[in-house]
Amino acid sequence: MTGLFFAFVVTSVIFTFITAKYKTTKVKIGDTVFSVEVAETVSQKAKGLSGRKGLGNNQGMLFVFNSFSEPSFWMLGMKFPIDIIWIKGGRVAGIERNIPADSLDLYYPPEPIDRALEISAGLSEKLNIRIGDALEVK
């Protein structure tokens, strides 16, 4: 049974990598505007940024949830470290800084959120992004 489950997971991950296509939008925090891909579907969220070599300073991925929730994130297949900015109702609710690449640890927001923004590691500190900052999605 374990082997069958593992095969299902691997097949699902491969299918996800092939089928995930993203819309793009802009996210503004303070004076900084990020060009982001939007992960809305289950397969887009599962793939996230895994398999990529990195992001530019003003690039990222915005994860959109239909209701306030406490989703778990992990870095399976990630090739570079990131920061996760947890978002609730248009404000920064928390920040997970410098998450290492390919970590199998699970990361959770500090409270229910409706969005999460992944950006290059260290960028949230460099840009002085803080809990409570307003965030605008264009």
Write the DSSP string, the chain.
Answer: -HHHHHHHHHHHHHHHHHH---EEEEEEETTEEEEEEEE-SHHHHHHTTTT-----TTEEEEEEEEEEE---B--TT--S-EEEEEEETTEEEEEEEEEPTT----B--SS-EEEEEEEETTHHHHTT--TT-BEEE-
- Please calculate the CA angle 80-84-85 and round it to the nearest 5 degrees: 150
Res 134: pLDDT: 98
Number of domains into which the chain is organized: 1
Res 66: pLDDT: 93
Average pLDDT, integer, range 121-126: 96
Nearest by Cα to 113 from 61, 62, 50: 62
Q: Which of 1-5, 41-45, 111-115 has the lowest mean pLDDT?
A: 1-5
pLDDT in tens, 108-118: 999 999 999 99
Res 21: pLDDT: 81
Res 18: pLDDT: 47
pLDDT in tens, 25-42: 999 999 999 999 999 999
pTM: 0.84
CATH of the domain at 116: 2.60.120.1140
* Whole-number average pLDDT of the chain: 89
Report CA dihedral (106, 107, 112, 118) to the nearest 10 degrees.
Answer: -130
Res 138: pLDDT: 87
Q: Does the pLDDT of residue 10 top 80, yes or no?
A: no
Average pLDDT, integer, range 68-95: 96
Q: Quote the domain boundaries for residue 22.
A: 2-137
